Structure 1
Amino acid sequence: MKLLGLLMASTLLTAPAGLAAAAGTDSGVVAAATSQADRPWMNTALSPDERARLAVEAMTLDEQISLMRTQIGFGLLSLGIPLPDSVPETMRKHTPEGALGSAGFIPAVPRLGLPAIQMTDASLGVGNLGGFLRRGDEATALPSSLALAGSFNTDLARQAGRVVGAEAHAKGFNVQLAGGVNLTREPRNGRNFEYAGEDPLLAGLIIGETIAGIQDQHVVSTSKHYALNSQETGRFVYDARIDEGALRESDLLAFEIAHDRGQPGAVMCAYNRINGVYGCESPFLLNQVLKSEWKYPGWVMSDWGAVHSLTPALDAGLDQESPQDDPHFSTLKAEVEAGRVPASRVAESARRILRSLFAVGAVDSPAAPGGAIDKDAHAAVAEQIALQGMVLLKNEGGVLPLAATAKKIVVIGGFADRGVIAGGGGSSQVMPYGGSFRDTRGREGVAALLTPVYGLDSPLKALQARRPDADIQFDDGSDPARAAALARTADVAIVFATRPEEEGLDAENLLFDHGQDDLIAAVAAANPRTVAVLETGNPTAMPWLSRTAAVLQAWYPGQRGGQAIARLLTGDASPSGRLPMTFPASVQQLPRPEIPGFDPSMRTPLGLGKPVEPFNLDINEGSDVGYRWFERTDAKPMFAFGYGLTYTTFDYRRPSFRGGDGLTAEVTLTNTGSRPGVEVAQLYAAPPGRTHRLVGWARVELQPGESRRVTLSADPRLLASWDAEAKGWRRAGGRFDAYIGRSAEQVEGRAQVRIGATADVPRALVGGR
Structure 2
Amino acid sequence: MRDAGLYQEAESPNKELDVDSLLKQLTHSEKVALTSGKDFWHTNPIPRLSIPSLRLSDGPNGVRGTRFFDGVPAACIPCGTAIGATFDEDLVRQLGRLLGDEAKAKGAHILLGPTINIQRSPLGGRGFESYSEDPFLSGVTAANYCLGVKDRDIVPTLKHFVCNDQEDERMAVNSIVTERALREIYLSPFQTAIRIAQPGAVMTSYNKVNGIHASENKRLLEDILRKEWRWDGLVMSDWFGTYSTSEAIKAGLDLEMPGATRFRGQALSHAVLSNKVQEHELDNRVRNVLNLINKTRGARIQESAPEMELNRPGDRALMRKAAADSIVLLKNEGNILPLKKEKPILVVGPNAKISAYCGGGSASLRPYEAITPFDGIASQSNSDVSFAQGVYAHKLLPEIGTCLRTDDGRVGFSLKVFNEPHTSTARTLLEERHLTDTNMWFFDYSNSKLNKTWYADVEGIFTPEVSGIYDFGLAVHGTGKLYIDEQLVVSNVENQKPGSAFLGSGTVEEQGAIYLEKGHHYKLLVQWGCAETSELKIGGLVDFGQGGVRIGCALNLSQEQAINDTLVLAQENEQIVIFAGLTGEWESEGYDRPNMNLPPGTDELISRLLDVNPNTVVVIQSGTPVAMPWISKAKSVLHAWFGGNEAGNGIADVVYGNVNPSAKLPLTIPKRVNDNPAFFNFYSEAGRTLYGEDIYVGYRWYDKVGIEPLFPFGHGLSYTNFKLGGLRVEDHGREKIYKVQVTNDGQRAGAEVVQAYISSPEVFETCSQIQRALKELKGFKKVSLEAQQTQEVAIPIDTTRATSFWDESRQKWCSEKGKYKILVGQSSQGPFLEAEIEISETLWWTGL
Aligned equivalent of 2:290: 354
Aligned equivalent of 1:555: 641
Q: Please say if residues 127 and 427 of structure 1, whose CA atoms lie closer than 8 Å, have aligned partners that are also in contact.
A: no
Aligned equivalent of 1:298: 233
Specify the code of the residue in structure 2 equivalent to 1:645.
Answer: L
2:129 pairs with 1:194: yes
List per-residue Cα deviations over 1:540-568 (Å, max 9, x = no partner): 11111111121111100111111111111
**What CA distance in whole angstroms lies between the structure 1 residues aligned with 2:11 and 2:18?**
17
| Deviation for aligned residue 1:253 | 1.0
2:638 pairs with 1:724: no
Sequence identity percentage: 32
**What CA distance in whole angstroms lies between the structure 1 residues aligned with 2:607 and 2:689?**
36
List per-residue Cα deviations over 1:84-127 (Å, max 9, x = no partner): xxxxxxxxxxxxxxxxxxxx222332233332122211101013
List per-residue Cα deviations over 1:178-215 (Å, max 9, x = no partner): 11110111111111111111111111111122122223
Aligned equivalent of 2:632: 546
State how 1:309-458 maps to structure 2 within 5 Å. 309-323=244-258, 327-330=262-265, 331-361=267-297, 364-366=300-302, 368-371=305-308, 373-403=310-340, 407-417=343-353, 419-434=354-369, 455=370, 457-458=371-372
Aligned equivalent of 1:460: 374
**What CA distance in whole angstroms lies between the structure 2 residues aligned with 1:372 and 1:422?**
19
* SS in structure 2 of the partner of residue 400 of structure 1: coil
Aligned equivalent of 2:678: 592
Aligned equivalent of 1:644: 716
TM-score by length of 2: 0.74
**What CA distance in whole angstroms lies between the structure 1 residues aligned with 2:49 and 2:329?**
55
Q: Please say if residues 597 and 615 of structure 1, whose CA atoms lie closer than 8 Å, have aligned partners that are also in contact.
A: no
* SS in structure 2 of the partner of residue 42 of structure 1: coil
Aligned equivalent of 1:11: none
Aligned equivalent of 1:109: 46
Aligned equivalent of 1:91: none
2:177 pairs with 1:242: yes
Aligned equivalent of 2:784: 701
Q: Please say if residues 424 and 502 of structure 1, whose CA atoms lie closer than 8 Å, have aligned partners that are also in contact.
A: yes
**What CA distance in whole angstroms lies between the structure 2 residues aligned with 1:620 and 1:324?**
37
**What CA distance in whole angstroms lies between the structure 2 residues aligned with 1:370 and 1:250?**
38
List per-residue Cα deviations over 1:123-174 (Å, max 9, x = no partner): 0101369xx6242411011110111111111111111122122112211221
Q: 1:462–1:136: structure 2 CA closer, same or farther, 3 Å change rule?
A: same
**What CA distance in whole angstroms lies between the structure 2 residues aligned with 1:292 and 1:748?**
40
2:779 pairs with 1:713: no
2:688 pairs with 1:753: no
Q: Please say if residues 496 and 533 of structure 1, whose CA atoms lie closer than 8 Å, have aligned partners that are also in contact.
A: yes
Q: 1:715–1:579: structure 2 CA closer, same or farther, 3 Å change rule?
A: farther
Aligned equivalent of 1:569: 655
Aligned equivalent of 2:826: 742
**What CA distance in whole angstroms lies between the structure 2 residues aligned with 1:72 and 1:724?**
42
**What CA distance in whole angstroms lies between the structure 2 residues aligned with 1:407 and 1:594?**
49
Specify the code of the residue in structure 2 equivalent to 1:583.
Answer: I
**What CA distance in whole angstroms lies between the structure 2 residues aligned with 1:177 and 1:248?**
23
Q: Please say if residues 237 and 614 of structure 1, whose CA atoms lie closer than 8 Å, have aligned partners that are also in contact.
A: no
Aligned equivalent of 2:757: 684
List per-residue Cα deviations over 1:655-690 (Å, max 9, x = no partner): 235677454422211101000011111000023252
2:491 pairs with 1:491: no
What number of residue pairs does the alignment pair up? Answer: 656
Aligned equivalent of 2:511: none
TM-score by length of 1: 0.81
Aligned equivalent of 1:471: 384
List per-residue Cα deviations over 1:218-276 (Å, max 9, x = no partner): 32221111101111112112211111122111111111111123322211111111111
| Deviation for aligned residue 1:640 | 0.8
Q: Please say if residues 36 and 44 of structure 2, whose CA atoms lie closer than 8 Å, have aligned partners that are also in contact.
A: no
Q: Please say if residues 358 and 364 of structure 1, whose CA atoms lie closer than 8 Å, have aligned partners that are also in contact.
A: no
Specify the code of the residue in structure 2 equivalent to 1:714.
Answer: I
**What CA distance in whole angstroms lies between the structure 2 residues aligned with 1:517 and 1:133?**
35
2:518 pairs with 1:581: no
Residue in structure 2 matching 1:633, options 693, 702, 705:
705
Q: Please say if residues 239 and 614 of structure 1, whose CA atoms lie closer than 8 Å, have aligned partners that are also in contact.
A: no
Aligned equivalent of 1:212: 147
Q: Please say if residues 228 and 846 of structure 2, whose CA atoms lie closer than 8 Å, have aligned partners that are also in contact.
A: no
Q: 1:327–1:583: structure 2 CA closer, same or farther, 3 Å change rule?
A: same
Structure index of larger Rg: 2
Specify the code of the residue in structure 2 equivalent to 1:375.
Answer: R
Aligned equivalent of 1:439: none
Residue in structure 2 matching 1:286, options 216, 221, 226:
221
**What CA distance in whole angstroms lies between the structure 2 residues aligned with 1:690 and 1:657?**
24
Q: 1:109–1:363: structure 2 CA closer, same or farther, 3 Å change rule?
A: farther
* SS in structure 1 of the partner of residue 42 of structure 2: strand
**What CA distance in whole angstroms lies between the structure 2 residues aligned with 1:323 and 1:231?**
22
**What CA distance in whole angstroms lies between the structure 2 residues aligned with 1:746 and 1:251?**
26
**What CA distance in whole angstroms lies between the structure 2 residues aligned with 1:182 and 1:382?**
23
Q: Please say if residues 422 and 430 of structure 1, whose CA atoms lie closer than 8 Å, have aligned partners that are also in contact.
A: no
Specify the code of the residue in structure 1 equivalent to 2:28.
Answer: L
Aligned equivalent of 1:9: none
Q: 1:550–1:128: structure 2 CA closer, same or farther, 3 Å change rule?
A: farther
Specify the code of the residue in structure 2 equivalent to 1:392.
Answer: L
**What CA distance in whole angstroms lies between the structure 2 residues aligned with 1:212 and 1:114?**
26
Residue in structure 1 matching 2:15, options 28, 32, 42:
42
Aligned equivalent of 2:619: 533
Where structure 1 has 5 or more consecutive residues not aligned to the other structure, the ranges are: 1-20, 22-26, 34-40, 44-49, 74-103, 435-454, 599-612, 765-769
| Deviation for aligned residue 1:28 | 14
**What CA distance in whole angstroms lies between the structure 1 residues aligned with 2:297 and 2:639?**
39
* SS in structure 1 of the partner of residue 338 of structure 2: coil
**What CA distance in whole angstroms lies between the structure 2 residues aligned with 1:363 and 1:197?**
31
Q: Please say if residues 620 and 640 of structure 2, whose CA atoms lie closer than 8 Å, have aligned partners that are also in contact.
A: yes
* SS in structure 2 of the partner of residue 334 of structure 1: helix
Specify the code of the residue in structure 1 equivalent to 2:178.
Answer: D
**What CA distance in whole angstroms lies between the structure 1 residues aligned with 2:145 and 2:686?**
34
Aligned equivalent of 2:4: none
2:752 pairs with 1:669: no
Where structure 2 has 5 or more consecutive residues not aligned to the other structure, the ranges are: 2-6, 392-561, 762-770
Larger proportion of strand? 2
Aligned equivalent of 2:441: none
**What CA distance in whole angstroms lies between the structure 2 residues aligned with 1:461 and 1:326?**
46
**What CA distance in whole angstroms lies between the structure 2 residues aligned with 1:529 and 1:318?**
56
Q: Please say if residues 268 and 300 of structure 1, whose CA atoms lie closer than 8 Å, have aligned partners that are also in contact.
A: yes
Specify the code of the residue in structure 1 equivalent to 2:723.
Answer: D
| Deviation for aligned residue 1:363 | 7.4
**What CA distance in whole angstroms lies between the structure 1 residues aligned with 2:273 and 2:201?**
28
Residue in structure 1 matching 2:725, options 649, 653, 675:
653
| Deviation for aligned residue 1:750 | 2.2
**What CA distance in whole angstroms lies between the structure 2 residues aligned with 1:710 and 1:461?**
38
Q: 1:183–1:550: structure 2 CA closer, same or farther, 3 Å change rule?
A: same
| Deviation for aligned residue 1:356 | 2.0
* SS in structure 2 of the partner of residue 729 of structure 1: strand
List per-residue Cα deviations over 1:462-506 (Å, max 9, x = no partner): 2223221x2221111232221122112211210101312100121
Q: Please say if residues 422 and 556 of structure 1, whose CA atoms lie closer than 8 Å, have aligned partners that are also in contact.
A: yes
2:692 pairs with 1:620: yes
Q: Please say if residues 152 and 299 of structure 2, whose CA atoms lie closer than 8 Å, have aligned partners that are also in contact.
A: no
* SS in structure 2 of the partner of residue 697 of structure 1: strand
* SS in structure 2 of the partner of residue 339 of structure 1: coil
CA RMSD between the two structures: 2.5
